[in-house]
Structure 1
Amino acid sequence: MLGNYSGAVAITIGVLAVQGDVREHLRTLGSLGADVLAVRRPTELAVCDALVLPGGESTTMWKLARSFDLLEPLRDRVKTGMPTFGTCAGMIMLADRIADGVEGQETIGGLDITVRRNAFGRQVDSFETDLQVRGVEGSVHAVFIRAPWVEEAGPEVEVLARIDEGPASGHAVAVRQGAVLATSFHPEVGEDGRLHQMFVDMATGRR
């Protein structure tokens, strides 16, 4: 489904490029017509209109963002309304609260949620399933890799998808709060660009 966007997007979308699935997000966003930028420095963040926080390892991403002097600029941009999309570890980075985080683990914040790290288990417990995501027509094939889930969500958080089977049934795995979107799974894996299109539409004021 990539590459079917009808025109260019007049915004620059950055992808935090300290660790994780950076190339996959850049490829998908680029196929939708966005100008894309790998972000490793505050000066690069400053020219972005929107940002993606990729899947990866949340503790590594937090430490590297801190060491690259990016953590506070990221917090400021999200707090002041920059459209932001976090996937898997990116969801953890955007959560206001973490369950089972490592000692001293920091987040960017922006979502009034509590997430549980590695809630679905270890790497060997990774799985795929089809989900119904509010705002997306048809089912979304979701890939979960050492994924978090949402344990609690505040009143301003819209739940877009939940797991509906197995021991995790009922837990939210896709949420939105204002200009911030997050998924527990990895929409950058595969050829389905619909969630990235949702984010592009959010970032350009079309949704």
Structure 2
Amino acid sequence: MLKMNENAGPLRIGVLGMQGAVIEHEGALKRADESIEIVLVRSPDDVKNLDGLILPGGESTTISINVARGALLPILQEWIHAGRPTFGTCAGLILMSKPNMGGFDCTVERNYYGSQSDSFVTTVLHNLKELGPSSKGVFIRAPAIQEVSDQVTPLAVIDHIAGQQIVAIQQGNFLGTTFHPELTTDPTWHRYFLKIAKAYKKQALEAYQ
């Protein structure tokens, strides 16, 4: 059973260490806030006492297989079903849109923009004032968010040949991007996720006392 981090000290953020840009996410988190503690998540015990969890990009099928083999699936499902702060990038977002994992009430199409050779960097236009006007987004075999329910808030879009595309969403304590913010030097998205995690922890500690 998941435990709340009862320590009022720095945030403890887990990064799923099965595949993907794990080191890059760790670097982005430190750029956002040097004081946080980062936990590499590879076993169920690693999920205990976290304040937030990042599901990195990579190959979503491979990540799913590795998670199941490592007996992580039940505790990750419990984490997400409890509404705890979770940030999914690219394949991580795909995992959070699947019925067996849960998280986002949205429909996602894998590899929407093409293969690895079709990767691109473009300007991401933000819809939320506190994120600033824009940032750079790295799209590598990126998915597309096709449909969202009224429970989901689009946070950013890009202008694409196929029309304007939603590339970042939020649903409660869940944050997701179809691009890789960790592959830039701009910590905007990780800083925003830490804000979500910090607010959740504050509320949980107040309820616990």
Taking structure 1 as the reference length, the TM-score comes to 0.87
Q: Which runs of 5+ in 1 are unaligned?
A: 1-8, 98-106
Q: Cα distance, 1:49 vs. partner?
A: 1.4
Q: Which amino acid aligns with 1:202?
A: I
Count of paired positions = 188
CA distance in 1, matches of 2:102, 2:83: 12
Q: Is the 8 A contact 2:126 2:134 kept in 1?
A: yes
Secondary structure at the counterpart of residue 131 of structure 1: strand
Counterpart of 1:71? 73
The Cα of 1:108 is off from its aligned counterpart by 1.7
- 1:112 maps onto 2:97 in alignment: no
Residues 95-115 of structure 1, C-alpha deviation per residue, up to 9 Å, x if partnerless?
146xxxxxxxxx521100110
Q: Which has the larger helix fraction?
A: 2
Output the CA distance in 1 between the equivalents of 2:164 and 2:101: 26
> 2:160, 2:17 → 1: CA distance?
34
Partner amino acid, structure 1, of 2:12: T
In the alignment, which residue of structure 2 is the partner of 1:192? Answer: 186
Task: Normalising by structure 2, report the TM-score.
Answer: 0.86
Compute the displacement of 1:139 (Å).
1.4
5+ long unaligned stretches in structure 2: 1-8, 201-209
Report the Cα offset of residue 81 of structure 1. Answer: 1.7
**Per-residue CA distance 1:137-181 (angstroms, 9 max, x = gap):** 1311000000001111111000111222312x2321100000000
Determine the C-alpha separation between the residues in 2 that align with 1:66 and 1:120.
28
Number of the residue aligned with 1:142: 137
What is the rounded CA distance, in whole Å, between the counterparts of 1:82 and 1:138 in structure 2? Answer: 27
8 Å CA contact 1:96, 1:112 repeated in 2 = no
Whole-Å separation in 1 of the counterparts to 2:141 and 2:97? 17
- Which structure has more RCO (C-alpha within 8 Å, separation ≥ 6)? 2
**Aligned equivalents of 1:201, 1:30: Cα separation in 2:** 14
Counting aligned pairs with the same residue, the percent is: 40
RMSD after superposition: 1.4
Asked whether the 8 Å contact 2:175–2:193 carries over to 1, the reply is yes
- State the alpha-carbon separation in 2 of the partners of residues 132 and 198 from structure 1: 15
For structure 1, which segment, 148-157 or 132-141, has the greater mean C-alpha deviation from structure 2 after superposition?
Answer: 132-141
